[in-house]
Amino acid sequence: MRKELVIALRATLVTLILTGVLYPLAATGAAQALFGERANGSLARNDSGQVVGSELVGQAFAAAPYLQGRPSAAGNNGYDATSSSGSNFGATSKKLRDRVVADVARLRKDNPEAPLPIPDALLTASASGLDPDLPPEAALWQSARIAKARNVTEDRVRAVIENHVQGRDLGFLGEPRVNVLELNLALDQQFGRPPALPTSATVAGTR
């Protein structure tokens, strides 16, 4: 029995070292060497070098000079990275219908010069509630509001958006998209940071 116990303990120790120490170290080292930025969370920084979020996690932008992302049901107020989830409302849900009706009214009020219909992505939440991207058409739909708020021509805003459209991964996976946080940082870099905005509405502190 002592012999069997020694063998069992030896096997446990070897397995622990292989799977609990060596494999995690190898995987972490490979991730850092091959795609360190992604492995560290794809953190985004403003012009001052301050971390303002992750390109992989959506966050709220309510101010007119900034691109606004998809609705979110993550957490009590949305965009809570610790409570990733969808609303799980069905197509016949009154709460879902009321939320969409309210969003339609808000979007039409805030974007009076934008064409109809409103892009679906601006009315539908993602399953995670943290989708960081928008389809290009949903981003371009907001260009008139952003241009007016920043006192620049709409063509200049549309050019910034179009320059930040990301294609399909490997040429065939997914759909073209615009990263909301990355685009808002680019807008500030191109046109300057809008004055007199509440901290909660700016790129430097949307959390």
Buried b (16+ CB within 10 A) or exposed e, 129-154: bbbbbbbbebbbbbbbbbbbbbebee
Q: Which amino acid is residue 150, in one-letter code?
A: R
Tell me: the pLDDT tens digits for 58-111? Answer: 999 999 999 999 999 999 889 998 989 888 888 899 999 999 999 999 999 999
Tell me: the pLDDT tens digits for 101-121? Answer: 999 999 999 999 999 999 999
Place of tokens 């009590």: 76
Could you tell me the CA-to-CA distances from 144 to 120, 137, 155, 193, 200 in Å, in that order? 18, 13, 9, 17, 23
* Domain segments of the chain as ranges: 1-40, 46-201
pTM above 0.85, yes or no: no
